[in-house]
Amino acid sequence: MEVFWKKGFEGTSVGDLLDATGLSRSSFYDEFGSKHDLLLSAIRHYCDINRDRLAGIAGEAVTAREAIHAMLVSIANVGGTNGCLLVNCITELAPHDEHVRAIAQEQGDRIENLLATLIIRHQGGGADSEADARARALISLAYGATLMRKTGMGEAEISKLLTTGEAILD
């Protein structure tokens, strides 16, 4: 996961993966099938870790608004200047890789559902026909912030960006 995160799929050689895993070439292929199969496993693992982390953040916050903010900050800051592994893979591969695209859509749906539930709670419960759209907008904002972080945007600017975008909650 770390090798793909730092170098991207195309920039990662099988040799890099052999070095990282300590496996021989034949053992690597026996264990993982292909470089692409390993990437898909790494992305799924990353998504599981982050889904659990975001659910934990949501569960620890006192208010729904605090949970939403903390989740967005967490998404925006993951990976520092390396950015978010999922966003990196979306950018590099999703336009032509249906498997990466499907994983990304599934993860986006999970985060969207969590955020939409928090948005409804923030607004006092009850139906909100715009909760899904607001959640999608917030995810887009957070994913965009990870890209801005990669370009060198500092923490204060990222925080201001997120706070400005969170105005759709009010």
Annotated domain spans of the chain: 43-169
What pLDDT shows up at residue 130?
87
What pLDDT shows up at residue 1?
92
Tell me the CATH architecture of domain 43-169.
Orthogonal Bundle (1.10)
What pLDDT shows up at residue 33?
95
Q: What is the pLDDT tens value at each position of the chain, 170 positions in all?
A: 999 999 999 999 999 999 999 999 999 999 999 999 999 999 999 999 999 999 999 999 999 999 999 999 999 988 888 889 999 999 999 999 999 999 999 999 999 999 999 999 888 776 677 899 999 999 999 999 999 998 889 889 999 999 999 988 87
Give Cα 122 distance to the centre of its chain.
Answer: 23
CB 85 within 8 A of CB 1: yes
Of the CA atoms within 13 Å of residue 69, those in its CB half-sphere come to: 15
What pLDDT shows up at residue 3?
95
The CA-to-CA distance between both ends of the chain, in Å, stands at 38
What pLDDT shows up at residue 155?
86
Distances (CA, A) of 3 to 10, 17, 55, 111: 11, 7, 26, 25
* pTM metric for this prediction: 0.88
